[in-house]
Amino acid sequence: MLHRARTSDSDTWLTTITWLVIGFICYAFPWQAYAALPSSQGGEPVLRIQGSNTIGAHLLPELVKGLMISEGYKDVSDQAGKAENERRIVGRSADGREAIVDLAAHGSSTGFVALKDNTAELAAASRPIKDAEAAGLSASGNLRSAKAEQIIGIDGLAIIVNPANPLDELTTDTLAKIFSGEVKTWEEIGGKGGAIRLYARDDNSGTFDTFKELVLASHGKALANGTQRYESSDQLSQQVSSDPQGIGFVGLSSIQKAKPLLIADGQSLAMPPSTTLIATEDYPLSRRLFLYMKPEESNRWARALLQFAQGDEGQKLVSASGFVGQRVQAVKMVPRASMPESYQALARDAQRLSVNFRFREGSATLDNKAQRDIDRLLAYLQQNGKMNKQTVLVGFGDPKQDPARAELLSKLRAMAVRRELAKDGVMFREISGMGDALPVAANSDDDGRVKNRRVEVWVY
């Protein structure tokens, strides 16, 4: 007969103390509480990332360095890679460990190719994965699942001109005519300077894919022949800054010395690429920044980087790198006469939070970003004492033949967000729907309608 070994009181006491100490370490030092991530062997990288130049030029190196420092690597260096737009981040610890991460920033599409042929563990993309790319990687799992698709920040596609250009704003319709070559001179659109010179990113670029989708294709246009193309957003910005006749488009972090224009889409107001309007994705040319990983990827550095990027320290680095982080903040809005009266009252008496909730296309299900934003919003409400009837949810949508139906659908979207937050005890002051009021994008295409189907959060 087997007998369970008996433990003395002193053994039990020591075991209890041991677990208390381990628990404290896990709470106070969460990264160090896990087993150390594997080191490089024989000069081989522990992680390979390929894809977007927008993300890879500035943000990714900072995220990788931040993760290495959190893992105890004190000597962290950023070195040139084998080719242009490639970097090698090397970390060395006091006990002789070395970690190498290779970054190649040649455009979003190259990241998905690298995932497919197993030359990278993470793909960086400044636009969502395309249907053909997802199908090509389907043997590795669903690349659109919350586990595989991680939104690490928000960017705004800035339309830039030379600082001396007197023009201040454009509509997406006029922008499409300019970049298709239909509008050829600045004088045709109220400016001055003669012939317009066009600058664009190359075909591998997620920045170009975003511009093509949001501006050119949505207005039935194609990029004009003779447009100067660049792999690097920074180089493009430098060229526009030195060309009085130039116009181009770059990510927010690459504006540099160029002048960004205000942009309007459809019935929306002209908006600058400001931090608040990009955080809420109201700015017409806002876009998400992605890291993709195969759902069953076993590389521990890849998983650790995703966790770090989504955390508070990672989001601080997103903001410091010229993009817009996803930490929730309160912003005071200015009421305008064009707003519905109830919305003006909100603007006068409450503050809007820097988060909008959007839904999967053709669905009432919150998308991947919204699911993570629920946790961020809940943390904000708890930390700021806003859990008890101090929060207002306002739903919006696209036009319907029956305005009452549009209003009902917009309120149902707000109710979907309410259900998720109520699970953790949030009590709401008001839930409302404003139908198709205050559009932030044109309702003439699917992308615009999806952007207009949103839920805003306000707090008193």
Look up the CATH architecture of domain 328-459: 2-Layer Sandwich (3.30)
Q: Check: CB of residue 398 under 8 Å from CB of residue 452.
A: yes
pLDDT of residue 36: 85
Q: At 5, is the pLDDT very low, low, confident or very high (cuts 50, 70, 90)?
A: very low
Least confident of 70-79, 92-101, 445-454: 445-454
d(CA 415, CA 399): 19
353's tokens = 């939070």
Chain centre distance of CA 380 = 19
d(CA 393, CA 456): 6
pLDDT of residue 2: 35
In which element (H, E) is residue 91 found? strand 86-92
Q: Taking residues 310-326, what's their average pLDDT?
A: 95
pLDDT of residue 388: 97
pLDDT of residue 27: 43
As annotated, the residues of the chain forming the CATH 3.40.190.10 domain(s) are 47-155+289-320, 158-279
Q: At 367, is the pLDDT very low, low, confident or very high (cuts 50, 70, 90)?
A: confident
Judged against a pLDDT cut of 60, whether residue 30 lies above it is answered with no
pLDDT of residue 362: 61
pLDDT of residue 7: 40
- Mean residue pLDDT of the chain comes to 91
Using a 10 angstrom Cβ sphere, with 0-12 exposed, 13-18 middle and 19 or more buried, the burial of residue 445 is: middle
> How many other C-beta atoms lie within 10 A of the C-beta of residue 262?
18
Judged against a pLDDT cut of 80, whether residue 425 lies above it is answered with yes
The C-alpha torsion from 459 through 263 and 232 to 70, rounded to 10°, is 0
Query: How many residues in total does the chain contain?
Result: 460
pLDDT of residue 445: 76
Alpha helices in 274-340 (DSSP H): 275-279, 300-310, 312-320
pLDDT of residue 166: 95
Reported as a single tens digit per residue, the pLDDT across 45-83 is: 999 999 999 999 989 999 999 999 999 998 999 999 999
Q: Taking residues 218-245, what's their average pLDDT?
A: 97
Least confident of 115-124, 182-191, 436-445: 436-445
Q: At 24, is the pLDDT very low, low, confident or very high (cuts 50, 70, 90)?
A: very low
Using a 10 angstrom Cβ sphere, with 0-12 exposed, 13-18 middle and 19 or more buried, the burial of residue 231 is: middle
Q: Check: CB of residue 392 under 8 Å from CB of residue 459.
A: yes
How many percent of the chain have pLDDT more than 90? Answer: 82
Reported as a single tens digit per residue, the pLDDT across 335-364 is: 999 899 999 999 999 999 999 998 776 666
| Annotation: CATH topology of 158-279 | D-Maltodextrin-Binding Protein; domain 2 (3.40.190)
Q: Taking residues 393-405, what's their average pLDDT?
A: 92
Q: At 447, is the pLDDT very low, low, confident or very high (cuts 50, 70, 90)?
A: confident
Alpha helices in 363-402 (DSSP H): 368-383
Judged against a pLDDT cut of 50, whether residue 31 lies above it is answered with no
Is 47-155+289-320 assigned to CATH 3.40.190.10? yes
pLDDT of residue 35: 58
Judged against a pLDDT cut of 50, whether residue 26 lies above it is answered with no
The whole-model pTM stands at: 0.81
Judged against a pLDDT cut of 50, whether residue 15 lies above it is answered with no
d(CA 316, CA 302): 19
